[in-house]
């Protein structure tokens, strides 16, 4: 297993060097505004789009807001955005690293991006093993995780890496019956992004499945005992810290759910999820709509492959972003739905030319990464 871990780390680091080489080639051809060859140029390619928000929050923290309109709004071409749309755990980590070590928030973000991307891939491999997938196939599935077209998000200054790390740790800590550790993990998870609070549902079901209380769709009440009830309290800190954050928002903005109100600055409105598709005629919206629908179809096909906990993880992760009335960033939200990667990768693994498929996936990833480098809306 150690050899597999070393191979995963080596391949993941090599991929980051390929990103840099790709960016340098584009810069020399005039396609991007990248800086000359330097270490700072290397770190800058991971700081595009919303990365600036996380870095600014880490540097200056959240502002005091005196009116609701300051949280954000949008109307046609007129809009206002605010830091309150972003959850605090990731920028807090960057800020704490900056203040405790003296390194810049940019360097802190770069270092943590590497750490969490490596942890994501290693933990994904471990999840595959714990779900009964043999070692060789688990390694292949991890390569799919690394090379999948939109999974460059795990390497940039976004929350995909840290979110998936703690989501995976949540499942593994339940699997290993480490409930004190789980209490700490769930507190971090719910503060990384709003989706974290909804992950309490699949994690709760996985807890029941791991205890034998839930078998398929059958609840076995005779399996419930005092020890299980006591261990279930490990979920409580996640709810408590979310409530504490709502109280903090109330103090700073006079709104308990400032993060939700601030989404209006990104043209997000609550609506029935299926209505989010094809709302605009631009390429990004059209592609993201097709991509989202395709993943829903795959989720339907995968239903019998996974237990209830993982099926609900898939559907909650798909539907919650769509309830905002936008398909922007749907690729990012899908990238952390690891059961879909397992399902898709297991299907690929059956083919004799599966390694060529991996090469094709990575080629598509570099194509998608180009839009990240030029900060095209397709990469939001």
Cβ-contact 157, 125 below 8 angstroms: no
DSSP-derived secondary structure for 233-266: GGGHHHHHHHHHHHHHHHHHHS-TTHHHHGGGGG
Reported as a single tens digit per residue, the pLDDT across 156-198 is 999 999 999 999 999 999 999 999 999 999 999 999 999 999 9
- Tell me, what's the pLDDT at 29? 54
**Alpha-carbon distances, residue 162 vs 77, 106, 177, 297, 335 (angstroms):** 33, 16, 22, 28, 13
Q: Percentage of residues in the chain with pLDDT exceeding 90?
A: 82
pLDDT digits (tens, 9 = 90+) for 269-283: 888 988 999 988 888
The DSSP H or E segment spanning 80 is strand 78-80
Report the Cα 322 to chain-centroid distance in Å: 15
> By C-alpha distance, which of 104, 139, 109, 114 is closest to 124?
139
Taking the C-alpha atoms of residue 46 and residue 41, their distance in angstroms, rounded to an integer, is 9
6: burial class by Cβ within 10 Å (0-12, 13-18, 19+)?
A: exposed
Percent of the chain at pLDDT > 70 equals 97
What is the model's pLDDT at position 75? 87
Q: Does the pTM exceed 0.85?
A: yes
**What does each C-alpha distance from 312 to 123, 200, 203, 308, 315 come to in angstroms?**
20, 11, 10, 6, 5
- Higher-confidence residue of 232 and 28: namely 232
What is the pLDDT at residue 304?
Answer: 93
pLDDT of residue 10: 97
Q: Rounded mean pLDDT of 85-104?
A: 96
pLDDT of residue 26: 82
CA gap 313, 323 in Å, rounded: 16
Residue 31 confidence (pLDDT) above 60: no
**What is the tens place of the pLDDT at every residue in 310-335?**
999 999 999 999 998 889 999 999 99
**Candidate from 19-33, 77-91, 115-129, 147-161 with smallest mean pLDDT:** 19-33
Q: Give me the residues paired with residue 80 across strands.
A: 73
- What mean pLDDT comes out for the span 243-267? 94
Q: What is the residue-averaged pLDDT of the chain?
A: 93
The residues, ordered by sequence, that sit 6+ positions from 14 with a Cβ below 8 Å of its Cβ are none
In this prediction, residue 34 has a pLDDT band, given cuts at 50, 70 and 90, of very low
Tell me the average pLDDT across 56-65.
95
Q: What is the pLDDT of residue 78?
A: 87
* Nearest Cα residue to 153 out of 14, 327, 332: 332
pLDDT tens profile 298-312:
999 999 999 999 999
């Amino acid at each position: 297993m150690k050899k597999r871990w070393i191979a995963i780390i080596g391949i993941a680091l090599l991929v980051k060097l390929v990103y840099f080489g790709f960016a340098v080639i584009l810069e020399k051809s005039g396609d991007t505004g990248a800086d000359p060859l330097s270490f700072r140029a290397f770190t800058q390619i991971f700081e595009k789009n919303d990365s600036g928000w996380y870095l600014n929050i880490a540097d200056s923290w959240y502002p005091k807001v005196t009116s609701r309109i300051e949280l954000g709004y949008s109307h046609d071409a007129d809009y206002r955005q605010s830091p309150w749309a972003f959850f605090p755990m990731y920028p807090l980590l960057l800020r704490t690293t900056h203040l405790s070590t003296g390194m810049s928030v940019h360097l802190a973000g770069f270092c943590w991006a590497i750490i969490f991307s490596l942890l994501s891939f290693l933990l994904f491999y471990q999840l595959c093993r714990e779900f009964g997938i043999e070692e060789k196939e688990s390694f292949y599935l991890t390569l799919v995780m690394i090379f999948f077209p939109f999974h460059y998000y795990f390497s940039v200054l976004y929350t995909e890496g840290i979110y998936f790390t703690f989501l995976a740790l949540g499942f593994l800590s339940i699997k290993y019956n480490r409930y004190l550790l789980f209490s700490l993990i769930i507190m971090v998870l719910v503060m990384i992004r709003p989706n974290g609070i909804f992950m309490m549902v699949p994690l709760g079901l996985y807890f029941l499945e791991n205890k034998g209380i839930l078998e398929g769709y059958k609840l076995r009440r005779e399996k419930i005992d005092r020890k299980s009830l006591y261990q279930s309290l490990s979920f409580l800190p996640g709810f408590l810290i979310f409530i504490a954050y709502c109280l903090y928002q109330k103090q700073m903005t006079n709104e308990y759910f400032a993060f939700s109100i601030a989404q209006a600055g990104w043209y997000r409105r609550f609506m029935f999820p299926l209505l989010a598709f094809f709302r605009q005629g631009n390429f990004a919206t059209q592609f993201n709509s097709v991509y989202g629908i395709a993943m829903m179809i795959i989720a339907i096909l995968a239903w019998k492959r996974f237990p209830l906990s993982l099926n609900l993880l898939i559907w909650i992760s798909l539907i919650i972003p769509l309830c905002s009335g936008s398909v922007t960033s749907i690729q990012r939200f899908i990238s952390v739905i690891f059961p879909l990667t397992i399902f898709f990768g297991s299907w690929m693994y059956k083919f004799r030319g599966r390694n060529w498929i991996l090469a094709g996936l990575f080629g598509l990833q570099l194509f998608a990464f180009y839009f990240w480098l030029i900060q095209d809306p397709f990469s939001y």
